[in-house]
Structure 1
Amino acid sequence: MSNRFQWLAAIAGVAVSIAIIGAASATPCLPEPQGEGRVAAVIDSRSFRLDDGREIRLAGIEPAFPGTSSAERMRSLATLLAGRKVRLHADDDTPDRYGRQIAFVWLVGDEKLAQQEILAEGEALVSPDVSDMECAGTLLAAETAAREAKRGIWADPTAIKNTESPGGILAGIGRFTLVEGKVLSVRQAGATTYLNFGRNWTRDFAVTIPRRALANLAAAGLEPKSLENKRIRVRGFVEARTGPRIEVLQAGQIELIGER
């Protein structure tokens, strides 16, 4: 079984294995060191500026929808980071298109991972682009613990959208969202595979998997056809193509509910 598929399985079982995942590594999310600095200002709900002028975006998390307002999330991040000395870790220091360095951020002194703290308070969601299984497991454990405790965004019963209510999913167009439901059918049309959650293809929610992503899923041991009649949770950005859609490019976007 590949590491990627082990991670997919771990996502489904994380609610019952938080202690195991947390103990797997005393220092998860530690790619290459990218320097240190002191936080001078919080820019938005997941970005801040260091006293040397560098702008940093927190890797591995996405703002949640629905949830607290952007201003409230900024205050939460400021409470955690303002004036603190931090250590950065990332595979490289290449800036994103906005000039921000994307990194895992550790608080110097008490050695807390900022992303883990934010997730544990229910203020964000785990992004599926965390490639390291151990790191992903740690972040997912924090997200799950917050969800079970109904902290932050998880106090809202609509934090995870239901595929039986496509209108509620459409309200989050362009936002990173969790959607849960049963896959009724798997169909291919041209270069796209569809996971259909309803019988009305122009209205109901569907997951789209482009042909270029099939190899990524296959490498993780995930075949779209195997998801038929399974209950899954999908994380990604909501698009509107007649009905609401989430495009899946990575196996980490799909969680099998109740299976390990």
Structure 2
Amino acid sequence: MTRPALRGNAALPACAASLLVLASVGPADAADCALEPQGEGRVAAVIDARSFRLEDGREVRLAGIERGGTDGASGRAALSAIAGGRDVTLHGEDDTPDRYGRQGAFVFATGSEHSVQSELLRRGEALFSADTADKNCAAALAAAEGAARDAKLGIWAETSAIKNTESPGDILAAIGQFTVVEGRVLSVRQAGAMIYLNFGRNWTRDFAATISRRIVPVFENASLGPKSLENRRIRVRGIVSSRGGPRIELFRVGQIEVLGGK
């Protein structure tokens, strides 16, 4: 069964790389993610790989990253080593708690030039989540992840850290988890309100990345129009779901990285 063909204008020229090409950005420093100050405090306890409690009782969730791999103990130990017992400053667009009462923030330990998020990424203990609106911050975090990936540190030491679209079963096993997936887009199709980037020919089994039609202009403005990605190798990241085969829905251009070559 095939999806109906995508209608529209001729394909845009394919860009050589996404907005977040890791090789094109410099090292991260404090200014990269130093958004508006949102308070300070001392870390009293590390809760998990992405959150901690301050001495005043506030719970803080690290923005801009997702837990890497399945070993929560490793991530928690890494966060403890970087921020445990340290004085920290919090930065972000606002300090509104999430539904669990946690304040999302970019965090800097006193005396460190890099954010806690950047340090975790550099050690291969986290994944860049691509949900950061600030471009400088996003580029810095992407570069930090890229450095760990190139050096095969932490999660990147495992050959399965990036899922291959030719093995949809491996991707399907990661349902509900934030995952990085790489492969070649074989076709681009439209079905109803959704655009499908198909990485296989059997849509009931193979992996696909999806983009809502209403936000396609955002991707086109970033030279990442869906049709321009056809026959290109790309890397996508996001939460894996299942609608027949495994799926990742793309909400932001930072979730796509175009890899070199056709």
How does the TM-score come out when normalised to structure 1? Answer: 0.90
Q: CA deviation at 1:68?
A: 5.0
Q: CA deviation at 1:79?
A: 1.4
Q: Secondary structure at the match of 1:22?
A: coil
Whether contact under 8 Å (1:216, 1:249) holds in the other structure is no
Q: Of the candidates 22, 28, 35, which is equivalent to residue 27 of structure 2?
A: 22
Q: Of the candidates 52, 55, 58, which is equivalent to residue 54 of structure 1?
A: 58
Which residue pairs with 1:3 in the alignment?
none
From the two aligned structures, give the one with the greater helix fraction: 1
Which residue pairs with 1:37 in the alignment?
41
Structure 2 unaligned spans of 5+: 1-14
- Residue-pair matches, total: 246
Distance 2:211 2:150 in 1: 30
Q: CA deviation at 1:100?
A: 0.5
User: What does residue range 33-182 of structure 1 map to in structure 2 within 5 Å?
Assistant: 33-64=37-68, 67-182=69-184
Whether contact under 8 Å (2:18, 2:254) holds in the other structure is no
Whether contact under 8 Å (1:68, 1:123) holds in the other structure is no
Distance 2:158 2:32 in 1: 29
Distance 2:133 2:66 in 1: 15
Report the more deviating stretch, 113-122 or 132-141: 132-141
Find out whether 1:199 has 2:201 as its counterpart.
yes
Which residue pairs with 1:184 in the alignment?
186
Report the more deviating stretch, 25-34 or 182-191: 25-34
Q: Deviations over 1:81-111 (max 9, x none)?
A: 1110000000001111111000000011233
Which residue pairs with 1:235 in the alignment?
237
Find out whether 1:9 has 2:11 as its counterpart.
no
Distance 2:30 2:80 in 1: 26
Letter in 2 for 1:11: L
Q: Secondary structure at the match of 2:20?
A: helix
User: What does residue range 203-218 of structure 1 map to in structure 2 within 5 Å?
Assistant: 203-218=205-220
Q: CA deviation at 1:154?
A: 0.3
Which residue pairs with 2:7 in the alignment?
none
Whether contact under 8 Å (1:21, 1:134) holds in the other structure is no
Q: Secondary structure at the match of 2:106?
A: strand
Q: Secondary structure at the match of 1:43?
A: strand
Whether contact under 8 Å (2:18, 2:256) holds in the other structure is no
Letter in 1 for 2:36: E
Distance 2:194 2:74 in 1: 39
Report the more deviating stretch, 102-111 or 234-243: 102-111
* Poorly superposed stretches of 4+, deviation over 2 Å: 8-12, 109-112, 218-222
Percent identity at matched positions?
62
